[in-house]
Structure 1
C-alpha cells in the first residue's frame, strides 16, 4: 500500500531546508575525501590561445582517473544518504501503522520514481528529448557521424568514449545520481510540503543549477588563475547555470508527469552525449543544406512542444493527477 496524506506533512521552509541539505550533501561529498579533492599549483602558467594550460605532475584535476573513482564513490554515498533521508522522513510520518516498514518502503519507492504506474515497455517518454535534438541529429547524419555511418567508429565512438572512467562518470553514474538526488529526492520533499506542480517544475531545478557553480574554481585554475581565467570561469559558470536550470525544468516535468525516474535519467544521458547544439558551426559546414538544417531544428522544436504532453501522459500517477482526483482525497 502506498501512503498518501490528507494534508501536507511538512512546511515549505522544511522542504527548502531539505533541498539545501541534499544539494550540500551531493556537492560537499566531492570535497570530503582527500582523494576526491582537486589540487592546483599556486602559480600556474597562464593558458594560451583560449585553451587550458598543461597539467603539472603534482596537480590533481577532475578528469584524473583516481579523482573520478573517488568522486563516484562519494556521490553514490551521498545519493544513498539522500534516499535514506526521504525514507526516514516518511517512516516518521507512518509511525506505528500496521505493516509500517513495508508501507514506508513502498511509499518511498513510488515517491522516488523507482516504482510507478508507467509502462516500462513504453518508449514514448524517452523519445521526447531526442525529438528536440532533431536538428543536431540531422547534421550528424549529413556528416556521416551517426552509428554505422561512414565516419562512425566503434573503437572511437563507443570504446574510447564510454568505456573509460570519464565515460562512466559522464554517461552513467553522474546522470543517475544527479537525477535521483536533484529530481526524485528534491521533488518528493516539495510535494510533501504541498507545493503545486508548477512550483515543483520551476523551483526544484534551481538547486540543480546552483550545484554546478563549484566548477568555476576548476575552470579558474585550469586556465591560469589570472583575470582572463576569472572572466572565463564566470562566463562559463553563468552559461552552465542557465542550461542546467533549463534542463532541470524539462527533467522535473518528465519526472512529475510520468512518476518515474527513468525518463529523466535517459534524457540526462542523451543530452550529455549530444552536448549543446552548434547550429552556427553546422550551417558553416553544410552551406548547401542550410534550409534543410533550419527546417530540421524547427521541426524538432515544434514536434517537442506538440508531443511533450501526449507522449508523457501517465494516468493515475502520484505527482500529476486530475483536479477531480485530488480534491478531498489526500493527494500528498
Structure 2
C-alpha cells in the first residue's frame, strides 16, 4: 500500500501544481489589463490601445508557464514548445476550414437572421471590411481578444493540465479559468450601472456561456492539435454574438416556425458532426491523442 499511497501523493502534488499554475496565469492575464491608470471605460480608444500592449506582453509571458510548469516528458519527442502550443503547418488548412464550418452549422439559425436582416450583404462590400480594420473595437473583438484569450487559456493551459488530468477532464477544467477571468467585467458594469443586481446577473450569465464555449474551444484544440481551430471558432462566435432568440419571435408565420426549426437543426447537426469533423487523423494530430 505504501507505493500506491506515494503515487497518490505525487499525483495530487502534480495536479495541485497544474491548477495553481493555471490559476496564476489567469490572474496574471486579467491583472495585465488593469495595470494601466485610466479614467476611461473599456471601449475608449486609449483603454483599448493600452490593453493591446498588455496582451502583447502576455504573448511572451504565457508560454513561460508551459516551459516551467508543464510535464514535458509526458509528451515525449512530440513535445516541442511550438507543437504543444498548436503552431505547426501540417493540417493547418483543415484546422481553419472544418472548425469554422462546424461552428457555422451551430449558428445556422442566427446566420439566417443575418440574411433576413440584410447584414450578409455587407460582407460582400470592401468598404465594410476596410472600415472594420480601422475600428479598434472590431479589431479587439474579432482578432486581438480571440487570439490572446485562446493563446493563454487554451494553448498555454492545456499542455499544463493534460499530463495530470488527461484530455477529457482537462476539457472540463480548463474553461473554468476562462469563465472566472471574465468576471472582471463585473467591476466595469457596476461602475457604469446603478442596478447592481442586473450587473451581477449579466456577469454570472457571461461566466456560464464563456465556460460552455471554453469546453468547445478546448475540445477543438485537443482534437485538432492546432491553435487555429479554437481561434477561428472564437472569432466567429464573437462576430455572431449570443443568439437573439427574442428576434425570432418578432417574425410572422411561417418564417418564425422555419427559424425555430433551423435553430434546432443547427444545434443537432453540430452535435452529429462534432466528432467526425474533428478526428485527430484529419489534422495529423499526434500530440494530444
TM-score grouping bracket, smaller chain normalisation: 0.7 to 0.9
The 8 Å contact of residues 110 and 116 in structure 1, kept in 2 or not, is answered as no
Give the whole-Å Cα distance in 2 for the aligned partners of 1:297 and 1:178.
28
Identify, as 1 or 2, the structure richer in helix. Answer: 2
2:51 match: 71
Give the whole-Å Cα distance in 1 for the aligned partners of 2:238 and 2:169.
26
C-alpha spacing 1:13/1:153, structure 2 compared with 1 (3 Å): same
Q: How many residues align?
A: 274
1:146 and 2:120 correspond: yes
Per-residue CA deviations over 1:17-44 (Å, capped at 9, x if unaligned) read 110111011100011232xx4x3xxxxx
1:131 match: 105
Give the whole-Å Cα distance in 2 for the aligned partners of 1:159 and 1:284.
32
Give the whole-Å Cα distance in 2 for the aligned partners of 1:116 and 1:89.
26
2:5 match: none
Give the whole-Å Cα distance in 2 for the aligned partners of 1:277 and 1:27.
26
| Cα RMSD after superposing both structures | 2.5
Q: 1:286, CA displacement in angstroms?
A: 4.6
Match among 174, 189, 193 for residue 219 of structure 1: 189
1:200 and 2:170 correspond: yes
TM-score after normalising by structure 2:
0.86
The 8 Å contact of residues 280 and 286 in structure 2, kept in 1 or not, is answered as no
Structure 1 unpaired stretches of 5+: 1-6, 40-59, 95-102, 322-332
Per-residue CA deviations over 1:280-319 (Å, capped at 9, x if unaligned) read 2133135440121112112111110111111111225245
Give the whole-Å Cα distance in 2 for the aligned partners of 1:33 and 1:140.
37
Q: 1:125, CA displacement in angstroms?
A: 2.6
Determine helix, strand or coil for the equivalent of 1:277: coil
Give the whole-Å Cα distance in 2 for the aligned partners of 1:15 and 1:67.
32
Q: 1:279, CA displacement in angstroms?
A: 2.1
Q: 1:202, CA displacement in angstroms?
A: 0.7
Determine helix, strand or coil for the equivalent of 2:120: coil
Per-residue CA deviations over 1:201-237 (Å, capped at 9, x if unaligned) read 11110000000111111111112xx4x2x11210110
2:285 match: 317
Determine helix, strand or coil for the equivalent of 1:113: coil
Give the whole-Å Cα distance in 1 for the aligned partners of 2:62 and 2:184.
20
Q: 1:241, CA displacement in angstroms?
A: 0.4
Question: Higher mean Cα deviation, 214-223 or 122-131?
Answer: 122-131
Give the whole-Å Cα distance in 1 for the aligned partners of 2:72 and 2:117.
56
1:210 and 2:183 correspond: no
- Bigger radius of gyration among the two: 1
1:4 match: none
Determine helix, strand or coil for the equivalent of 2:209: helix
Q: 1:185, CA displacement in angstroms?
A: 0.8
2:157 match: 186
Determine helix, strand or coil for the equivalent of 1:260: coil
1:177-326 alignment to 2 at 5 Å? 177-193=148-164, 195-223=165-193, 226=194, 228=195, 230-315=196-281, 317-321=285-289
Determine helix, strand or coil for the equivalent of 1:276: coil
1:115-126 alignment to 2 at 5 Å? 115=88, 117-121=90-94, 123-126=97-100
The 8 Å contact of residues 100 and 236 in structure 2, kept in 1 or not, is answered as no
Give the whole-Å Cα distance in 2 for the aligned partners of 1:232 and 1:154.
39
Give the whole-Å Cα distance in 2 for the aligned partners of 1:198 and 1:231.
35
Give the whole-Å Cα distance in 2 for the aligned partners of 1:147 and 1:283.
23
